[in-house]
Amino acid sequence: MSRRTQQQEGLAPEVLAFYNAFDEDGRLERASGPLELVRTQEILSRFLPPPPASVLDVGGGTGVYTCWLAVQGYAMHLVEPVERLVAAARLRVAELPPEQRPVLSVGEARHLPCRDASVDAVLLMGPLYHLSEREERLDALVEVRRVLRPGGLLVAAAISRLASALDGLVGGHAEDPDFLRIVERDLASGRHRNVTDKLDYFTTAHFHRPDELRLEIEAAGLEHHGTFGVEGPAWLLPDLPERLDAPSRRQALLRILRLLERDPGALGVSAHLLAVARRFAM
């Protein structure tokens, strides 16, 4: 897919530029990334149908979750709009045995390369925050409903409305007036716009409130089963890497996060949310 086509299909130029410069391949290995990874894997393992179910990983980046599930026996298909990330996923997939290798496609969440009612589960691990307008997100969710079999599963990721404000407090960005202006807009509307040249301030996105995420899923004709806080408040801990490295402390941390994962008062403190939904069974 050409850059021009990517932009026409909804990937804003600044988003494309961000992912062409940012180390997305190593993101889950840094800072709170390992916690996001293990908690996302935990929630997916809880809800996905057993292998060899077919799973479409939309906006799957460099294929971290795609390959993890392929090794377990799932029939995986990654769809990603950024050609650079698909190229990185191709290298990751090449390390798998031929019989486990997923299908990789350059494509966009609102135009999925699948037949109607043809897949058992869809992961939306990025599109709902990079489609800035509600109508665009609803188009993507309706497209998910189209390709899911009756009773099929959707797991959709969102960034919390509070994420930039909390990140600014922990990382020190709150001392930058430019960052404070970004946070004010995020909290007021959810429309995240980075007008600086600092990659740490992310790129064009929409930050959801938990109820807003549920309402969008239901508006697309899907049955919402729950929204889960991925990292809970733990991503704010200054000693998070040390806690994850010590088995007993790691287990205590994960147990607390499971207790908090659906608590209405704690949901917004999580950097990422995962919504679980299904296409209504016929």
- The CA distance from 91 to 2, in Å, is 21
Number of domains in the chain: 1
Averaged pLDDT for residues 232-238: 97
DSSP annotation string for 88-120? HHHHHHTTS-GGGPPEEEE-BTTB-SS-TT-EE
Local confidence band at 9 (pLDDT 50, 70, 90 cut-offs) = low
- Position 116, amino acid: D
pTM: 0.94
- 3-class SS at 59? coil
Owning domain of residue 41 = 3-279
Task: Return the bridge partners of 276, or none.
Answer: 155, 226
For 118-154, what is each residue's pLDDT tens digit?
A: 999 999 999 999 999 999 999 999 999 999 999 999 9
β-pair type (272-279, 148-160): antiparallel
- The CA distance from 44 to 121, in Å, is 10
157 closest CA partner among 16, 33, 58, 22 = 58
Enumerate the H helices of the chain as residue ranges.
3-8, 13-21, 33-47, 64-71, 83-93, 127-130, 134-147, 163-171, 177-189, 210-219, 240-245, 247-260, 264-267
Give the CATH number, domain containing residue 186: 3.40.50.150
pLDDT of residue 86: 97
Local confidence band at 8 (pLDDT 50, 70, 90 cut-offs) = very low
